[in-house]
Structures are given as C-alpha cells and as structure tokens.
Amino acid sequence: MRRTALIASAALLTALLPLTAVGTASGAADPPPVPVDRFEGEVPFAGQPAEGIFTWGGDADDPPALQLTDRADAPEGAKVLTGTYDISGYGGFTHDFAATEPAHDWSAHRGIRFWWDGRNTTRKISFEIKDGGANGEASELWTTSFTDDFTGWKQIEIPFADFVYRTDYQPVGGIDHVLGLTQMWGYALTLPVGLQGQFAMDDVELYGRADQSLRASVTTDAAVYPVREGGTAAVEVSVATTGAAPIDEPVTVAYESAGGTATPGRDYTPVHGEITFPAGTLSGTSRVIKVPTLRDKSAEAAETIPLKLTVTGAKAPAETPQVVVDAHGLPYLDPKLPVKKRVADLLSRMSLAEKAGQMTQAERGAVGNGGDVAAYDLGSLLSGGGSTPTPNTPAAWAKMIDGFQLRAQATRFQIPLIYGVDAVHGHNNLAGATVMPHNIGIGATRDPALAERTGAVTAAEVRATGIPWDFAPCLCVSRDERWGRSYESFGEDPALVESMETIVQGLQGARSGKDLKRGDKVLATAKHYVGDGGTGYGTSTTGSYTLDQGVTKVTRQELEAVHLAPFKTAVDRGVGTVMPSYSSLDIVGDGLGPVKMHARADMINGVLKGRMGFDGFVISDWNAIDQLPGDYASHVRTSVNAGVDMMMVPYSYKDFRTALVAEVTAGRVSERRIDDAVSRILTQKFELGLFEKPYADTGGASRIGSAAHRAVARQAAAESQVLLKNADGVLPLKKSQKVYVAGSNADDLGNQTGGWTLTWQGSSGPITKGTTILQGMRDAGGDVTYSKDASAPTTGYDVGVVVVGETPYAEGVGDVGNGNDLELTAADKAAVDKVCAAMKCAVLIVSGRPQLVGDRLGAIDALVASWLPGTEGAGVADVLYGKRPFTGQLPVTWPRSEAQLPVNVGDTAYDPQFPYGWGLTTLGRAPAGGLPALKALGAAAAAAERAHRGTAGRALVTKARLLVQQKAGQHITAALAKPFADADHLLLTGRYGAAVQKLTEAYRAA
C-alpha cells in the first residue's frame, strides 16, 4: 500500500498543533509540516519491499507488540501507535518507505518531530533515520536520542543537525557518511533495554525550513595535532553541506589560540584571525590555519594549545581542535634505556588519576569519536565480538585505531593505547580475513608446528590492522561437551592443551618478548584462568546458561593437574597477559566454597603471579567484576586487590576509574598495588614498541586473506578432520565417482566457521570470504550433485556425502539445556537416513562438539568429525578426495549418550562411542604382526623415551595405535576404550613405552 496524500492543508495541520508549537517551532515563514505517520491506518504493519511498520529484536522475546489504538487524547486524529515491550537484548520498530517507489526528499526541512506519551522512565530512546542506499534496509543510519523524563504527551523536535552517523552498526557498511536528506527511507526507534513498559506515539512529521546553519557545517581534519617542539601545526578547516551543494551564504570562521597547558610566547606563538568561505563555495573546500610552536632547552611533558573556532553561517565543529607540543627529553621516551628504567621513570611522574586511567579498558563503541580517551586517560580500548568499523575493511580498522591513538597523544605523557580484540580463530571480526578452524579442530590435528603457524597468520593479520593485542588463546580444558564454549578448547586432556601452546609463539614470537615490536606479532592472552572448562552442569547463575560461568568444584590435586598446568606452560612461554574466568572456583577442603575467579587473590596474586612468576598483566573479562558480591566500590576493590591489573569495563569505564581513585584515596586499595598494576601494563606497551610506533603498520595488510595465509588454514582444516569409521574404504573418494551431496552444512560458510565469526554469536550463510565444503569438492574436480534436504532423486550415484551438524553459537548461549542439545536436527537426520539407505555414504559432522549418532552408526559407512573447519572448506575436500590423508585424532571423548556426560580420558568408568585419541588414517596401512609386533614396538618406544627421541617415539606409538584400530574396527568396548585413551595421554606426556603397553592392553581387549 502506498500513501498518496502526504501533504494536508497548512491550515488544517496548524490547527492540529498547540499554539506554542506553532509559534516556537514553525514561525510565519516556515512551510507547512509534512506528515510521515499519522497512525490512522494509512501505513500498514508490513515489511519490505512494501511500505510498512514492523518490529525487530535480538531474540523472539525482544520485538515489541504494536497496535493502532483509539485514544480520546490523541494529539492528531483518532488513533495513536501504542506498544508494550520487555527487552533483554535489543528491540524496537521501524517505518520503511516502499522499496519499489522513489525515496523521499527531506532536505527542505529543519527536522523531524513527533508526539510521545511520556512515562518518566528517565531512559534514553534512540531515534534514527535512514539516508540513501537502495531501500530502508540497505540505507545509511543516522541516530540521536531523546529522554523519557516527562509524563503525558510531549512533542519531540529533532533538528536534522542533531543526527550523527551510527558507528556501531550499518546495514550495508555505510555509504558516503554524509546525511544528504534527499533520499530518505524512513525511521526507527530503539526501546530501552531491561525495562518492562508501554509507549504511545503519534503524528510523525517534517517541520520547519532548512537553513544554512543546519545543513552546512565546519569541520577540522582532526581533533588533535601533535607536533614536535619548534614545529608548526597545520589545522585544516573545511566547510561541508548535506547533499554536497554549494553554500548559499558566506561562512566565517574566527580562530584564536587560547587556554590549554602551553604558555603563549614561551611554548608557541599565539595566532588569531578569520577565514571566510564566500557564498557559492563548494562543499569540501578547505583552508589551513598554522600554529607555530617554540623550542626551549627544558625536558617537558606534552602541552596543549586549544584553537578556539567561532563559526557564523554554519554549524561549528563538535569540539575544539587541540595542538599538542609533544613530550620531549624525558627518560621514559628514550628507547635506548632498559624497559624497566623507562617504566620507573614514567610511573614516578603520573598522578593517581592517570594511573587509574591506565587500568581502565573501554569498548570502542562506548567512546564515540574518542574524546574520552584523553579526558579519562584511558589505557586501553577493545572491540567486542562484532564491534567493527564501517566499512569493515583492513584500512578502516587501521584508520579507526589510529584515530583513537591520536587522542591519546593529547594526554600529558602521551601514553599510547593498547587495543585488544578477540581474534580466537584468525582475525575473525574482520570481513575477508583468514578464519582458522576453532581450537577443538586445532587440537585434533595433534600438530604443534601447525598450531604455531595458525597463530602466526592470525598475528600478522591482526597487527596489520593496527591491533597489537589478541585475547587468545583459550587454554581451557573442556571436561563437559555440553558447555557452549567447548570448541574454544584444544581438548579435554591438559597434556594436549599444553602441546598446542606453540600457538603462543605463533602470536608473540620469542619467549623473551623481543619480537613483539614486529609488524606481524601481537601480545597474547592466556584465558580463562582458571577452571572454566570444568564447570558443573546446572551451576551457572547467568541467565539461562547451564554450565558457562558456573562453578568448578575440584580437589587441589585435580586443579593442579588438569586446569592449572596449561597456564604454567603459558607463563613459561612468556605469554603477555592472562584473563581470569567468569566462573567460580570451589576447592574441596579449603573452606571458602565457590568464589568468583576475579576475586581469588590466592589464585591470581598467589599462584599466578607468585608461584608461577607471571610478570605480564591480568585483564578482566567483559564486565566480569559486576558479578562479584557487594556494591560497585566493593567490586572494584576486591578485583584489584585480588590481582586484576586492567579492568574490561566496556560501558562503565567512567564509573570504574572514579571508584578506583576513591578506593585508593580511602586507603582500601594501596598505592603500591596500583603501581604494580600500572608497571605491568606499561611494560607490555614498551615491549610492543607502542611509544615509538603507536600507529598502525599496514605493511602487511595486503597479505590479509592471502593465498599463503589461506593455505595454512586449508592445511589446518585438512589435518583437523577425524575419520571415525571407514567401512570398506569408502573414503577417500575417487574423482570418477558420481557423488550425491546433502545436508545443512555442506554449503554454508557461516555454519562451518561457527561462533566468533564477524559477530559474537556468528551466523549462518555467506558471511565472509571463503570456500564451503561443497565448493571445495567441486573445485577438487569431483562429479558432484547437491540437494540440501536430499529431496532430489538418489538413484544413479556411487556414493553419498551428507554434511550435517550445528549452527553457530558462542559461550553460554550454546550451553546444552539452554535451547540446545547434542542431537542432529530432524532435517539432518532425514537427509542421513535417505542418502545412507540409497547408497554407500559418508557423514561429515560440522560442529563445535560431538553429536549423538550412535542410533544411525550402523547405516553409516564412513563417519568424519569435521569440527568447525573455518573458511577453507577446500581443506575438507582435500582429505575427502585423498589429496591429503586423514590423520586427525579425537581431542575429546565422543559419547554414546548425553547421559554419559561428563566423560573424559582417565575416568574410572569409560565406555564411549569413540575414545579420546581415536582416528583412522588413510596415510598408510597398519603394521602386521599382532602382539609380537606390539612387543617390538613397545621395546623400541621405551628406548626412544630413554634417549629423548620424541619424533621416533611418537611414530612408534602411532604404529601401535593403528594396529589396535585395525583390529577393533567398530567394536569399541569399555575394555578397549579406556587403555586406548590413556595411551594417547601417555604419548603426549612423552611416556612412549607406557603408551604402547596401554595399546597392547587395548589390543588384547579388541
């Protein structure tokens, strides 16, 4: 339905408005208002491509309920738009104009206004408009907000000049970053989160006459202009207009250097004057104001020179630009001095507020254009999952981070930011980056050298976008595959996790930290300290989570052997930062009960920093201190005193910094503790070379997503494939075979990359650049026919490949019991049943954890655990067609039923579907000879162990393992499974002779 009568008579519309609104908002010379929504039924509840009003939200409960309601007090007409809402994530509603009709031109008007029935909630309500693009869902979003701090009807007027470009999300990655107003597609409101409420709205309309001061603006090319002492700063001043039209009237800019910490005449030559942009000046025209600084002989901290701009005829810049005379001559600035001395010198000069700022980390989306970086002396920023610049390109990342670093140059000591990101399987927030298999797949490779190479590729791509810090690797030892984070673990055996910690060297380089200055290395983070993989089912107190952020109850011996061991290895490898877990630790017999890890001084100060000798810094998890008991001051005091050095407080950074200063001032947190934390943080910043090179080194940007990097990911995907069953040698496939491919995950890049891909939770579909498993099979030269749901005829094929499994999730959202289980979907089961009944079949399970397939195992000829292979589905095709052999081994136990969980290597009762370490190979045949061959292998393995010949020892154990698997076939009993799994643990701990003895025991049980 298309509205045809938009413009009513001026007299009628004016009569509908209160006299105050007419007098103050319109004025005699203003054009009549233009209705957008009267809510009388002229616009239906509908979505694109038709015109309509529709709701949206983060999950099924978040979209508000809307209706048109008769109200006697309606400001205009008989009906108003009413709604109810109870939003836990995000939600709101939109009015989109019809995509099949031309966009609307709003450029002749001052702004947009509407009536709102206030409930005095004191909450902000976001209002955004849609500019340019193809339609309302492919436009550029510009946003502002109003506060519901009143009761009853009130007309909200928003000049178009108040709207700012939305930086946290753009549906098409942004267009031109200019609010043109000539091609408008509608508006949207985002309702308050965490509040159960009602609203009413009426009469959305355009009002007033556009004037130049609202559509023309003066900007500067930067907010901060660092300059060496004695140099001259050049401040570029530009005039711009919405729609890029020339200005109608002159614009003048009077400028004057005034205020700041620099002294005029001593530190700089004062400047003042006026710039005029005549009528007819083209949008984008620039002039330059030069500010000379003066040289003296004293060493000094940085000093600021604000350049006050007074604008006539256009909107002034949002903030006053500042020239900054760089700090100079101070010892901490000397790169020739030892880092320890540089840290001590800088620390001695800092105020308590500056130190507290260094301990504070904010989300990039919370600091807007970055002015708070200097205002609060922030030490760090981060991008949470899905928090990306627009457009999401390497260049935009580098530009964004450089902009934030520029802000830090306006602080007294110009301490650079350290920017962090969750690059947990490649630079997974960046579109087009190389996405590796998730850690569970890396664990399946049993290839420490390859793990290091994946880390090196990740580091190179992350650092090339200006980011020096990665919140990875996760060193959790996953003990229950119902956990939604289980794919973040390398496996259930601490020995396996430790063996994969070569990835730390891939990320950081040398253990000494000497490589951190390189343009292809980043600071790594060992997380989540400690025990997050051992939380008990049903212990979580976070929302509807079942395991994540729950309680890990262990004996002291279990804690040391299972969960702490990987962190000791990480410390020995020189890892730069450690992140505590959200979870609680309950050590049997210590009398403390469950205590949140962010509050466990005994584990952070005592074990990590004390006994292990960790000399990096500890960074909290996202808002984790809010889960501690007590008030906010207690949260801050407890976590800092426990040993947390930097607090990830994404949107509450101001509160944290204020509270920390107050706690120190009151004596509840010691200055010595603050100095320790800040020293640790500054040390890593110096080691990274950020003081000398704070800005992005984009020299490696051309290699992001390159063929060489994707080759590493492809190899990792291939080596991660675990062949669990292969009756009659169905795999590898032959290119001459006609192959029928089916299943939900055969041709879905988002599903095979999993969570933490572009967004926190990930999503299905073609979300980034890569190759699906189906495309990989086609590219390999296979004769392939694809039918996702197996609805196409199944006759005439030699073999079927059914690719099934999970859709993406992350953290506790993926916990079993939180809307998830370990069963295949009904559609996937149907596809497996149909294809495997019609032909020989191989089933690939693309998932973050084992799936329960025992009831179908008899009908399946070949079964492959594909895990979450990342963007390079060609790696999966490589092993399917024999270009590479299957060599992967299970990094976790594959259960027979959910009731068995948790089940892990070393358990007394151990009867899984497939044991830990299981993995058939197409590399070569198992040796012949039975028990005599095993005896000989055992003797040789023991000799290799005594001689510390690891390569030889591992090869001998592998031969013994293959011999056992050949004899066992699919008849895996508890008597076989337990020693088989134990053997793999012994292999990883270097006890080769004992491993073969266990395999001999398994052989006898087969």
Catalytic residues: 621, 811
CA distance 157 to 141: 19
Q: Are strands 862-867 and 65-70 parallel, antiparallel or unpaired?
A: unpaired
> Which residues, in sequence order, are CB contacts of 4 under 8 Å at separation 6+?
none
**What is the C-alpha R_g of the chain?**
32
Residue identified by tokens 């709207």 is: 163
Residue-wise burial string across 798-809, b where 16 or more C-beta atoms lie within 10 A, e elsewhere: ebbbbbbbbbbb
Of 814, 704, 812, 796, whose CA–CA distance to 754 is shortest? 814
H helices within 123-272, ranges in order?
Answer: 212-215
In this structure, how many other beta carbons lie within 10 angstroms of the beta carbon of residue 644? 29
Q: Are 142 and 163 in contact, with CB atoms under 8 Å apart?
A: yes
CA distance 899 to 170: 44
Q: Are 49 and 43 in contact, with CB atoms under 8 Å apart?
A: no
Distances in whole angstroms, Cα of residue 1003 to Cα of each of 834, 924, 936, 960, 997: 36, 19, 14, 9, 10
Mapping DSSP to helix (H, G, I), strand (E, B) and coil, where does residue 153 land? strand
CA distance 230 to 329: 14
Q: Are 596 and 604 in contact, with CB atoms under 8 Å apart?
A: no
> Which residues, in sequence order, are CB contacts of 69 under 8 Å at separation 6+?
79, 80, 81, 82, 200
Q: Are 160 and 60 in contact, with CB atoms under 8 Å apart?
A: no
CA distance 802 to 774: 10
256 has which bridge partners?
A: 272, 308
CA distance 298 to 312: 40
H helices within 123-268, ranges in order?
Answer: 212-215
Q: Are strands 799-805 and 840-846 parallel, antiparallel or unpaired?
A: parallel
Q: What are phi and psi of 726, to 5 degrees?
A: -155, 65
Q: Are 52 and 81 in contact, with CB atoms under 8 Å apart?
A: no
Q: Please report how many Cα atoms fall inside a 13 Å half-sphere around the Cα of residue 971, on the Cβ side.
A: 9
> Which residues, in sequence order, are CB contacts of 12 under 8 Å at separation 6+?
none
Residue 226 CA, distance from chain mean position: 31
Direct distance between the N- and C-terminal alpha carbons of the chain, in angstroms, rounded to an integer: 72
H helices within 434-591, ranges in order?
Answer: 439-445, 448-463, 494-499, 502-508, 556-558, 565-572
3-state secondary structure 389-435: CCCCCHHHHHHHHHHHHHHHCCCCCCCCCEEEECCCCECCCCCCCCE
How many residues can be counted in the chain?
1006
Q: Are strands 224-227 and 551-554 parallel, antiparallel or unpaired?
A: unpaired
Concatenated DSSP letters of 753-810: H-SSBSBSS--SSS-SS-B-HHHHHHHTT-EEEE-TTS-S--TT-SEEEEEEEPPP--
